[in-house]
């Protein structure tokens, strides 16, 4: 996983300044499919219909699927002093790989500090078992 950080402003009240990093992949998890939507069975299940942010104030603005690419756009309400906008893209690359990209922009106003930056996370998921994604029965 590659995490690239671009900081525009980082005041004293913002806490530790985020840093770019690269980590090794690893670990297995299951992906299930229902129609043209995917569910990633991670510590917390994630889908191609919802926001991938840990911030509970973030809400989905739009989601789409076209030609093997899922795109979800999410943001906090305009009144939130910890503004966040995330664009999550998952793209099928061949039969055995998915590329995930999260571009999240933060614009926080904390006390007298402005905390503004963009964090871009990219990760490639590779199928290690045989067969197609497991279909899931509708609820």
Distances (CA, A) of 121 to 35, 69, 103: 27, 17, 7
Report the alpha-carbon distance of residue 92 to residue 114 in Å, rounded: 37
For 51-72, the pLDDT digits (tens) are 999 999 999 999 999 999 999 9
For 84-120, the pLDDT digits (tens) are 999 999 999 988 999 999 999 999 999 999 999 999 9
Specify if 79 maps to a domain: yes
Specify if 20 maps to a domain: yes
Q: Is 14 helix (H, G, I), strand (E, B) or coil?
A: helix
Exposure of 99 in the CB half-sphere (CA atoms within 13 A): 9
Specify if 139 maps to a domain: no
Specify if 95 maps to a domain: yes
> Whole-model pTM above 0.75?
yes
Specify if 114 maps to a domain: yes
The number of folded domains in the chain is: 1
Report the alpha-carbon distance of residue 129 to residue 101 in Å, rounded: 23
Q: What are phi and psi of 70, to 5 degrees?
A: -105, 140
Domain that holds residue 101: 2-127
């Amino acid at each position: 996983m590659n995490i690239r950080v671009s900081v525009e402003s980082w005041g004293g009240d913002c806490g530790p300044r985020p840093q770019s990093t690269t980590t090794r992949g690893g670990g297995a998890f299951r992906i299930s499919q229902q129609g043209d939507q995917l569910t990633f069975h991670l510590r917390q299940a994630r889908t191609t219909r919802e926001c991938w942010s840990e911030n509970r104030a973030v809400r989905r603005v739009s989601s789409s699927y076209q030609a093997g690419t899922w795109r979800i756009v999410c943001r906090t309400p305009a009144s939130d002093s910890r503004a966040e906008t995330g664009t999550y893209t998952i793209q099928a690359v061949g039969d055995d790989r998915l590329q995930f990209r999260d571009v999240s922009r933060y614009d926080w106003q904390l006390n007298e500090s402005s905390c503004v930056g963009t964090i871009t996370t990219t990760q490639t998921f590779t199928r290690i078992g045989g067969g197609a994604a497991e279909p899931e029965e509708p609820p």
